[in-house]
Amino acid sequence: MENSVETINHIIRTRRSIFPPSYIQKEIPREIIDNILENANYAPTHKLTEPWRFSVFTGQGLNKLAGFFTERYRTTTPPEAFSQARYDAAGDKVLRSDCVIVINMETHAEKIPEWEETAAVACAVQNMWLTATAYGIGSYWSSPGVLTELAAFLGLPDNQKTLGLFFMGYHDAPVVPARRTPIENKITWINS
């Protein structure tokens, strides 16, 4: 059992945001992506609503998602401000990734408050992040300002919304120590 504690401590404390410029061209096997998503499914969920929903982009699907970002840049940028370099870069993070998972949430307003559903989805993403870390896969959760448009692009029903994108790829990023202030500064003990 001690080995399990040491393992989980190590994974939690070495998890980092690893960004697409550090990703290398190496395919993440489907069974690993499936396992990452299966572990997401074990997040805590009030009243068992299991609000997490995922749209997984791999292979040629990444071109479709990158196309959403480049087309959005083209249609929302005035002609005088248009930059071919920015247009080309709009989908770059997607294309540098081996897998991008769009993080969606199904709400159940009749059962529980939306913030609890959001918290459950965040726990699911943390499970994904820790699993990716254990596999040596770099990842990070991005929340761009286009989430409503992305939900429309995905054709989500009215009771779902997009909370972000989870980028993944094997990487060559150097190990960077965590930057955290001491936990003692964040705790108030009440003993009597």
Give a yes or no: residue 128 inside a domain: yes
d(CA 118, CA 104): 10
For residue 2, the model assigns a pLDDT of: 65
What predicted TM-score, i.e. pTM, was given to this entire model? 0.94
Give a yes or no: residue 140 inside a domain: yes
Cα-trace Rg, the chain: 19
For residue 1, the model assigns a pLDDT of: 56
Give a yes or no: residue 185 inside a domain: no
Provide the number of structural domains found in the chain: 1
For residue 42, the model assigns a pLDDT of: 98
For residue 44, the model assigns a pLDDT of: 98
Give a yes or no: residue 87 inside a domain: no
Coil, helix or strand for 60? coil
Give a yes or no: residue 165 inside a domain: yes
Q: Measured between alpha carbons, how far is residue 107 from residues 116, 118, 120, 160, 163 in Å?
A: 9, 9, 11, 6, 12
Give a yes or no: residue 25 inside a domain: yes
Q: State the amino acid at position 134 in one-letter form.
A: A
Give a yes or no: residue 6 inside a domain: no
Residue stretches of the chain with pLDDT short of 50 = none
**CATH number of the domain within which 104 lies:** 3.40.109.10
Residues forming a β-bridge with 55: 102
For residue 88, the model assigns a pLDDT of: 86
Domain that holds residue 40: 19-57+94-172
Give a yes or no: residue 135 inside a domain: yes
